[in-house]
Amino acid sequence: MTPQRLGQHFLADPAWRERIAGAVLGPLASADAERAGLWIEIGAGHGEMTALLARQARHVIAIELDSNLLPALRAATARLTNVSVVPGDVLSLNLGKLARDSEFGGAPDGFFYVYGNLPYYITSPIVHHLFEDADRLESAFLVVQREVAERLAASPGTRDYGYFSAFTQLYSRPEILLHIPPGAFQPPPQVESALIALRIPGERAQLGVQNETAFLKFLKVCFAQKRKTLRNNLRSAWPADVVDDRLRQACIAPGARAEQLTLAEFARLFADRKIP
């Protein structure tokens, strides 16, 4: 399968690689290798960023799906004793288990950082997959399409705020660190990119939601049709009188739309009431 088919755009510009490494590892510059911890790299490619991560990481697990790239990746990292190359699809790997596997530099506590230059078309599934291990994930630093980064970091009341924003901010604190031009990549993508940091924790600890699975299902219903009011979206799941009562108890206007609400307001409206 070709790199284009896999959606791969490699960071070919050395100056941009250094800038990204500085933004990702800069806060750890004064830490020793043990504190820098275990890193899981998603889509290691030719090893463009692997060696830079290995400068400070206790260990790097470099995941690569494309079998055509594996020989060069292994050759590029052969002298790095703190790098393990793992072939496979990140979406099929149990990252929490991988981070505890001593064969790959894991530790019993299983805490890990993530860096990834993601194929843009599977950004959402990968972010969802990362947060399956939110209790062990320290932070994730992802190169994604700029528009996607802006959605992840969007605030309530803005045009870009939606379900993906709310989901991401439940588990993390997103921050766009760099805007990256197409010329930094080979082949150049048709869009601008961005490096976004997803720092743990997000708002989940403060919200006190007992059933997160049901809460996420509730959020999807709230954002189901952006042109509809929150009240109309919720009426697809709850009886009209229940919706009106919940809105009143949560002090939310009947004409409010989902993109106007904070996660705290969603939690107050949900109040652990399951969506059928």
Distance CA 36, CA 25 (A): 8
Task: Decide: 89 and 118 in contact? Cβ < 8 Å.
Answer: no
**Residue range 146-157, pLDDT digits in tens:** 999 999 999 999
- Residue 33 pLDDT > 60: no
Q: H or E segment at 73?
A: helix 70-76
Q: How confident is the model at residue 78 (pLDDT cuts 50, 70, 90)?
A: very high
Q: In 3-state terms, what secondary structure has residue 11?
A: strand
* Domain co-membership, 176 together with 242: no
- Given 187, 202, 217, the domain boundary residue is 202
- Tell me, yes or no, whether 1 lies in a domain: no
Give the structural domain span for 176: 10-202
Q: What is the pLDDT of residue 274?
A: 58
Q: How many domains does the chain have?
A: 2
**Residue range 166-222, pLDDT digits in tens:** 999 999 999 999 999 999 999 999 999 999 999 999 999 899 888 999 999 999 999
* Domain co-membership, 122 together with 182: yes
* Domain co-membership, 87 together with 140: yes
* Domain co-membership, 94 together with 132: yes
- Residue 120 pLDDT > 90: no
| Beta-bridge partner residues of 60 | 39, 83
* Domain co-membership, 50 together with 140: yes
* Domain co-membership, 170 together with 265: no
- The CATH number of the domain holding residue 263 is 1.10.8.100
* Domain co-membership, 195 together with 145: yes
Q: What is the pLDDT of residue 57?
A: 93
